[in-house]
Chain A
């Protein structure tokens, strides 16, 4: 009975503190403190300082600030201009035309950045005005962009996957590799939506692009090629075992700095801005991780996660039912919390549950990323919606309506992941 009591107390304090808009990391600390004081005799404050220090000085976590920094540097270069110019000539042959630059651009930027808001801004800054100028329908421009930007969370380097890997002690490299194929499949799903639009709504097609020569095509994409090289260097070095995730991140930062230098966009002020931007973002995530570390410890002392896992086990749910239930749970949670917070907040509870049910934790990492991706574009709280609102001046309601087909495609992606778990698990198994 104590477990039921503990659950109610935890949930009540959690909702009160989060709802009263205390910063998420500090709110989690408050919940953990209440749990420690009520249900254990251990000194709460000492346990808190020890666990937070151990977590904050952990070596595996160092990949996080570096990957953030790499994205910040490239975000401040002229990448977004070059991205559109470089991709447009290659995309104009596809049915659906330049709308595909939204998807391809997001896929490429996702491979150098782990954040979906940065992906959205970088690609959208250039593609929205260019696509509007060419007369593509507004709902397709905004909708496909909102959906595709969430690829930033899935395609490595992914901040959500680093945080997930650190909180359940799984290899970050394996998680990164697991994200590649599902990320590309999801991009393909988004692209087929554009193709479908092309054939079903022929009256909305804009005039075809003028043709250009192959030489011009290559010349236009001259900056895109070095970025692709950087992507392959970072991901390849992890895949072939030459570097750890942290070292690959360091290579990424140096590579991004070099690219920016050759492009002559690396001034002292952009360097400083990228550094401070990355410092702030990583401090933001660090505070949440600190709160979550203390909360996990506190919940562990109460025995709540074990009891809940045993309870779920006793229900004899099939893994599919469990996944379906968790999908709904995370969609609801994602309506109010961002992806990283929902992952760290629930992992202490969900991890024993999925291990008990025999679900592969690597596969589950990819599953959870797809679900929190959906949360990015569903109201009332969705970071991508806010960013797009600031960029396009549309209402949140309009943006979430036009992004709805993308949410449908992401649900389809979950079905695909359940039906073909190999999508996520095959590549990590082939790592040297």
Chain B
């Protein structure tokens, strides 16, 4: 199992699944007494989710802009290559960045028929569901990051016509000397750059789910309230 090779002497799965579950058990035992200590953290996390949602909204506007540019370019027969690919990346970024925001605002749907059967299920089945969802989301995030690393390692490039300037690639690689050099030569988009959205979005979704679980264990209520419509 190379995928779970040890980090700091413990297999990765211990860090990803066992440790968060252990924190959950602590939250269950200590209960409401933890609330004053956790509240500042919750406020910060709420802001993180909202920011992530705002980034998603920005990419939604980007989709619109890119498609309009593509349309105008076609009518005026000016060549603007790669708008469809860029729109695809923006689409992925919108979806992934909005995941945690949509979760905390109750937009994601689930089958709640058994959940609403009685008060016992309402509490314990809900806890189980959030725990299960958190495990699945953590697994998803782990492999999203792995895919992202591999794209970078293999220097995977786009199959389409989309190109971005070299300095932008340097910026994402945190190679600031390269940015300062300001090379404007165009390069085919390395896939790992748009894939960053997948890594960040899935990590935030996993964090949001564990966070929801802890809040439920500490306060006894599910913080996710869905809006009446949609």
**Please, which residue of chain A has its CB at the minimum distance from the CB of B70?**
A247
Q: Within the complex, what minimum Cβ distance (angstroms) separates A94 from chain B?
A: 30
For the A-B complex, the count of residue pairs with Cβ-Cβ distances under 8 Å equals 194
Chain A contributes a number of interface residues (CB within 8 A of B) equal to 65
Within the complex, which residue of B61, B107, B115, B194 is in contact with A280, where a contact is CB–CB below 8 Å? B107
In the complex, which residues of chain B have a beta carbon less than 8 angstroms from the beta carbon of A169? none
Q: For the complex, give the distance between the alpha carbons of A286 and B102 in Å.
A: 11
- Tell me which residues across on chain B come within 8 A of A324, comparing CB atoms: none
Cβ of A26 and Cβ of B137 under 8 Å apart?
Answer: yes
Do the beta carbons of B60 and A24 come within 8 Å of each other? no
For A172, the chain B residues whose CB sits under 8 A away are none
Q: Which of A272, A286, A338 contacts B95 (CB 8 A)?
A: A286
Beta-carbon contact of A46 and B146 below 8 Å = yes
CB-CB under 8 A for A117 and B101, given A25-B108, A49-B143, A282-B95: no
* CB-based contact B111/A284 at 8 Å: no
Shortest CB distance B190–A (Å) = 14
B229 contacts A17, C-beta separation under 8 Å: no
Q: Are A53 and B92 in contact (CB-based, < 8 A)?
A: yes
Q: Are A21 and B115 in contact (CB under 8 A)?
A: yes
A57-87, CB under 8 A of B: which get 1 and which 0? 1110110011001000000000000000000
Is A4 in contact with chain B by the CB < 8 A criterion? no
Q: Is the interface of B mostly helix, strand, loop or mixed?
A: helix
Q: Does A195 touch B at the CB level, under 8 Å? A: no
- Once the chains are docked, how many angstroms separate the CA of A426 from the CA of B185? 51
- Which of B91, B111, B147, B198 is A337 in contact with, Cβ under 8 Å? B111
List 17 extra interface pairs beyond A22-B133, A246-B67, A283-B98, CB under 8 A.
A20-B125, A20-B129, A29-B136, A46-B143, A56-B96, A57-B91, A65-B94, A118-B229, A249-B67, A253-B64, A280-B102, A282-B94, A282-B95, A283-B107, A284-B108, A286-B98, A381-B113
Residues of B within 8 A of A (CB): 3, 53-54, 56-57, 60-61, 63-64, 67-68, 70-71, 84-85, 87-92, 94-96, 98-99, 101-103, 105, 107-115, 125-126, 128-129, 132-133, 136-137, 139-140, 142-144, 146-147, 194-195, 198, 228-230
Residues of A within 8 A of B (CB): 17-27, 29-30, 33, 43, 45-46, 48-50, 52-53, 56-59, 61-62, 65-66, 69, 115, 117-118, 121, 243, 246-247, 249-250, 253-254, 272, 275-284, 286-288, 290, 336-338, 341, 380-381, 387, 390
